Structure 1
């Protein structure tokens, strides 16, 4: 049996990859099993003949892969102490994925490029629903801080308060659900892409199936936060986009799919071109957009400033005399025509721009769409070259020689330019955005976050499209705090959730600078001068704090010392054999394997302190913190 498994694992590179292929009933996997030299053995153990056809027994193969007899010291030891479900594979629909990022260099401020890796341990734990007892109950909040104007107690009572919360986002969302359900107008998240590129702080490298479960858990609870007319934006790349689309169809419903926006996010230069002979260089990201109810959403059209003059606007309407002239004739009369002949782009000429904006309701091009009755009137011989006025559902319109007159004024819209929000000749943005600079965001917000920071202009566009002032915005992968910072500058309410320790040194500090009036990103464009406030707090850590200490240990003895000196109140898993930790077998495991074993022995239900346990003397929760929790969780 082991030969069969080794053969599959070797051919398909890893056990993790093999599990994904089995779940998918991958054609290449099945073909390999049925046509290899061990085909008869594979058929005997993992296929069943029904009505003349071979049926793949995926569960049988998955159970063997997870079986306690696997010849792997780490897996064997996990089985020995009771950490592996023996003979039972957990279907993804029954799982919850928790992730615990622990690192030696928390900030990684010395990362020089996208290829710099941290010496990091990132454990994600898969829990069966039967194992989840109090995991998703409301948790105690601690370390409250008030930043900006106002006092903390009043802020906790105020429904308009902004929040930045440190803690596991899945657990935090469940803690916040009762308070904020059906109140969020827009969710934006930029989750780990599952690329295997851990260049700064987040380890993206989940097993594919685990990543989908990880996302499913969070999307399902996030949906409960959305108002009926709310919208969610999820940023991703090619690696998981197709799978994530199917998952979001399942969670939000295919009828509520709004768009998949493609964004030009990088340029083909430098190290990106090193493998151009073997691959097509990636320069884009995606935004998957879903509505809570697509029938109820209202989107504000978005525009970008036109950079070249549309020469189709070549006619001029003299309204006073009801006559039409070539635009070139009018430009010549105003002394602009000869000057413009030497200009590559008319829109670069200040005098030309002043003229066309002043005469935008007179300069026009013609289009086909015209009521047939009006077309017939316009085409009469006596009406040749004469504008015909008529009324439509949208107001007064004009026809000219059988075509509709489309004025330049209808192409002028509010855009966020380098000078702020201005009325500009603009182009309607659809599902391809190529005008946002993703390459110069390193120091937006006056904080350094070399990889993964999103441009403030991107978040501005999203929030401008679907929200109004005072609407509530949620980002539960807050990262460097771009979503919260932009929401603050746009006078939107916000909730940011981040579990990484850099929330204290980067995210929180960025928002403090926003209150002080930092002028990076979109601040100058919006004439933002500072002000406002937010409340910072943390989920109260219990077992999670110990897991961090274990993962920061430098040797096996230090790990065991941390684990063995825990108080009796710290809950370990009662279904495991702790005595095996003193065995020679445990000592033969690598340090990372020992750390993961010890972390898994700590009950994940006790990672954070349940709100119902706040009064237990063991936890020494002070009176003020109890009072703040009461205020926060009260309706």
Structure 2
């Protein structure tokens, strides 16, 4: 362990005090030792400083008024007793020290004092598995305290097992080339997003996210139980890099539950208001476009005080000034352009080259919101309608919220007509045809949860192999609202791959990221069925006949593989085998720990299996979960990769030679 020789020497001194510093079972009372050290208990200090090794290691001579004075470095000595508490709390000994600091040092290290909150700019890796959160006690990596660790954690990573799927290769074929195809990646989404920045920076048109709602339920294997602050940090880290990947005219949609969480959990309430504030911070409140309300179920659940049937989708732009109109479904038949000469009795058309057959002076129209108001003169071909006289006995509409300039343009383009009721209308222009009508904030006809469940069951022989899918109709509405063919849609909480399946059927490009192992059994398998031409979801509506392709790749595991093996160990023997493999295989551990000595420590040996696993998870260096792309310069790393893997990475990162 840390400074084991000094620790052994110290323990031998402490044992002389009988049961003062040791329990009946022989366990060191660390808190008692620290308490007495802080109090400079005379007998304890005298005994410690009498030992030559401790004296030489922890004292320093300084000169005051020409006199040499020995100073005991108490803080450094106490650190030796806090290292196990360190494993319970964080990567760094500063995890719980939010308080008074000066120059990056806490008050016990300096006389200058300021108030400091060291996690305001932190990074939270936050693995998606519930074991990640339960067993690792996720560390915060602060920009100042652990800047080097953050840089290391987020640098581009190596991809392995790159496989291309298309109609000719439904079972997949290994590929050594990345030609900007659709992309599915298995790995931690924060780390993966940073690996995409070189290839996809400012290229994504739309991001759709259905993140963990933080319900506290830990459903379907993934972690869904954070404190509010941890969840917000978790989201903030990912949203910041997501914004970087968006085009300047890009949009992000984030879906969130509005129901109150189970009161027995620490969450207690929906994360929606917190998320809204966070998005204002990351994207800017001026880039908030609105909130969509989606009806997720036909029948409400009465398990909570207010039975909820809605979820919200927050919509933000990267830069609102670059955003085009958001549209909804197909263009309504009542607004499509018609033949100007059709049905002249009910529709009198005004347009270039067509004589106006209406009143010569005044035109009575329906526009009750402008009662008793005279509109400006409008020129319709060679006929002048001097005034639109709005009378009281007509129903209110909003026909004249269009400027004179726009009305003149409609006339020039032969888009205006007058109904038999003498109400002014206009046709849809060619540019507007196919774009659809404006999206509304209430999505009632965009599928529901039960539709999504049926879609999954129909794809997988009646089995509900994924618990919380979204319906294809909902994703069709969202993707159709702001993307065109071949534009890229990103979803880094991919789940069952609904976003990617719909994007493929709508001829959009896509990127999906998922850490959970079901990416292979659910997500990839679903997309293979889409390529083969499955007819569920929106397939018939869009006349989907199959086709398309995508590349699947995985981040190359380093400590991540060992981490999973430790978590899945079911006996002490299995755990010991994993730890020995880590030692022999060169796994990266925190530099403060000698793992071999940890295993020999009687305190460790007396631990339960669960506690041993927890400790081993904590000593694994989390900054080394995956191999960095720069590691490919190491021949030992290249020996772990196939030639195809090496070539694919060079192709993906645009490098020809390392």
Normalising by structure 2, report the TM-score.
0.65
What corresponds to 2:625 in structure 1? Answer: 607
| Kept in 2: contact 1:83–1:600 (CA 8 A) | no
State the match for 2:225 in structure 1: 205
SS in 2 for 1:145: strand
Structure 2 equivalent of residue 20 of structure 1: none
Does 2:424 correspond to 1:405?
Answer: yes
Residue 481 (structure 1) aligns with: 497
Taking a change above 3 Å as real, the CA distance of residues 509 and 365 of structure 1, as seen in their structure-2 partners, is farther
CA distance in 1, matches of 2:140, 2:177: 34
Within the alignment, does 1:461 sit opposite 2:477 as a pair?
yes
Q: Is the 8 A contact 1:367 1:403 kept in 2?
A: no
Secondary structure, aligned partner of 1:132? helix
Q: Rg: which structure is higher?
A: 2
Contact 2:129 2:222 in 1 (8 A): no
The alignment's C-alpha RMSD in Å is: 4.1
Show the 5 A alignment for 1:369-518: 371-373=375-377, 377=387, 379=389, 392-395=408-411, 396-397=415-416, 404-406=423-425, 429-438=439-448, 439-444=450-455, 446-447=459-460, 448-518=464-534
Q: Secondary structure at the match of 1:629?
A: helix
Question: Is the Cα contact below 8 Å between 1:101 and 1:122 reproduced in 2?
Answer: no
Q: Is the 8 A contact 2:161 2:174 kept in 1?
A: no
Q: Once the 2 structures are TM-superposed, how far is the Cα of residue 598 of structure 1 from its aligned partner?
A: 1.1
In structure 2, the residue matched to 1:531 is: 547
Give the distance between the partners of 1:564 and 1:433, measured in 2 at CA.
55
Matches within 5 A, 1:557-576: 557-566=573-582, 567=584, 569-576=586-593
Does the CA-based 8 Å contact 2:327-2:438 persist in structure 1? Answer: yes
1:285 maps onto 2:314 in alignment? no
Kept in 1, the 8 Å contact 2:329–2:477? The answer is: no
Cα deviations by residue, 1:235-255 (Å, 9 ceiling, x for unpaired): 112211111111111111111
* Whole-angstrom CA distance in 2 between matches of 1:80 and 1:399: 74
Match in the other structure for 2:366: 366
Q: Deviations over 1:562-595 (max 9, x none)?
A: 1233225211110235334444444565544432
Contact 2:202 2:246 in 1 (8 A): yes
Q: CA deviation at 1:401?
A: 11
Equivalent-residue separation in structure 1 for 2:299 and 2:344 (angstroms) = 53
Give unpaired runs (5+ residues) of structure 1: 1-66, 107-118, 310-316, 325-363, 385-389, 416-420
Matched, 1:297 2:326: no
**Aligned residue number for residue 651 of structure 2:** 631
Map of 1:546 onto structure 2: 562
- The answer to whether structure 1 residue 92 and structure 2 residue 119 are counterparts is yes
After superposition, where does 1:257-268 map in structure 2 within 5 Å?
257-268=288-299
CA shift digits 1:409-441 (9 cap, x unpaired): 779x999xxxxx9x9xx9854212122222221
Cα distance in 2 between the residues matched to 1:481 and 1:380: 54
- Rounded to whole Å, the distance in 2 between the matches of 1:322 and 1:283 is 43
How far, CA to CA, are the matches of 1:365 and 1:376 in structure 2?
13
CA contact (8 A) 1:92 1:213 kept: no
How far apart in 2 are the matches of 1:553 and 1:195? Answer: 28
> 1:562/1:469 Cα in 2 relative to 1: closer, same or farther (>3 Å)?
same
Could you tell me which residue of structure 1 aligns to residue 280 of structure 2?
Answer: 249
Equivalent-residue separation in structure 1 for 2:505 and 2:606 (angstroms): 55
1:418-468 Cα shifts (integer Å, max 9, x gaps): xxx9x9xx9854212122222221242614444221111111111111110
In the alignment, the residues of structure 1 paired with residue 471 and residue 95 of structure 2 have an alpha-carbon distance, to the nearest angstrom, of 47
CA distance in 2, matches of 1:631, 1:555: 43
Q: Is the 8 A contact 1:68 1:76 kept in 2?
A: no
**Cα pair 2:160 2:555 within 8 Å, conserved:** yes
Shift of 1:528: 0.6
| 1:158 counterpart = 2:167 | no
Q: Where does residue 60 of structure 1 map in the other structure? A: none
1:493-541 per-position Cα deviation (integer Å, ceiling 9, x unaligned)? 1111111100011111111111101111111110010011111110000
CA contact under 8 A between 2:250 and 2:323: conserved in structure 1?
yes
Separation (CA, whole Å) in 2 of partners of 1:464 and 1:149: 25
In the alignment, does 2:85 pair up with 1:76? yes
* Alpha carbons 1:144, 1:537 under 8 Å: kept: yes
Q: 1:98-149 deviations in whole A, cap 9, x for unaligned? A: 1234579x9xxxxxxxxxxxx9868644333313352111111101111115
User: Quick check: 1:82–1:576 contact (8 Å CA) kept in 2?
Assistant: no
How far, CA to CA, are the matches of 2:293 and 2:129 in structure 1? 33
* CA shift in 2, pair 1:282/1:306, >3 Å: farther
| Match 1:320 to one of 341, 344, 347 | 344
Q: Alpha carbons of 1:103 and 1:225: their partners in 2 closer, same or farther (altered >3 Å)?
A: closer
Q: Is the 8 A contact 1:101 1:123 kept in 2?
A: no
- How many angstroms does 1:210 deviate by? 0.6
Closer/same/farther in 2, CA of residues 580 and 79 from structure 1, 3 Å limit: farther
Q: Is the Cα contact below 8 Å between 1:235 and 1:286 reproduced in 2?
A: yes
SS in 2 for 1:560: helix
- Displacement of 1:478 after TM fit? 0.8
Partner residue of 1:128 out of 124, 130, 142 = 142
Unpaired runs of at least 5, structure 2: 1-77, 99-116, 259-269, 335-340, 349-363, 379-384, 395-403
Match of 1:344 in 2: none
In 1, the alpha carbon distance for the partners of 2:524 and 2:475 equals 18
Moved more, 428-437 or 189-198: 428-437
* Residues 9-158 of structure 1 mapped to structure 2, 5 A cutoff: 76=85, 78=87, 84-85=93-94, 88-89=97-98, 91-102=118-129, 124-129=138-143, 130=146, 131-148=149-166, 156-158=177-179
Query: Residues 634, 318 of structure 1: CA spacing in aligned structure 2 closer, same or farther, 3 A cutoff?
Result: closer
The corresponding residue for 1:111 is none
1:541–1:591 Cα change, 3 Å: same
- TM-fit CA distance, 1:79: 5.9
Distance 1:599 1:414, change over 3 A: farther
> For 2:89 and 2:192, how far apart are their aligned partners in 1?
33
Structure-2 separation of matches of 1:142 and 1:554: 29
**Partners of 1:84 and 1:519 in 2: CA distance:** 56
Distance in 2 (alpha carbons) for counterparts of 1:527 and 1:322: 36
Shift in Å at residue 552 of structure 1?
Answer: 0.6
CA contact (8 A) 1:484 1:494 kept: yes
- Give distance in 2, aligned partners of 1:125 and 1:485: 35
The answer to whether the Cα contact below 8 Å between 1:102 and 1:548 also exists between their aligned partners in 2 is no
SS in 2 for 1:524: coil
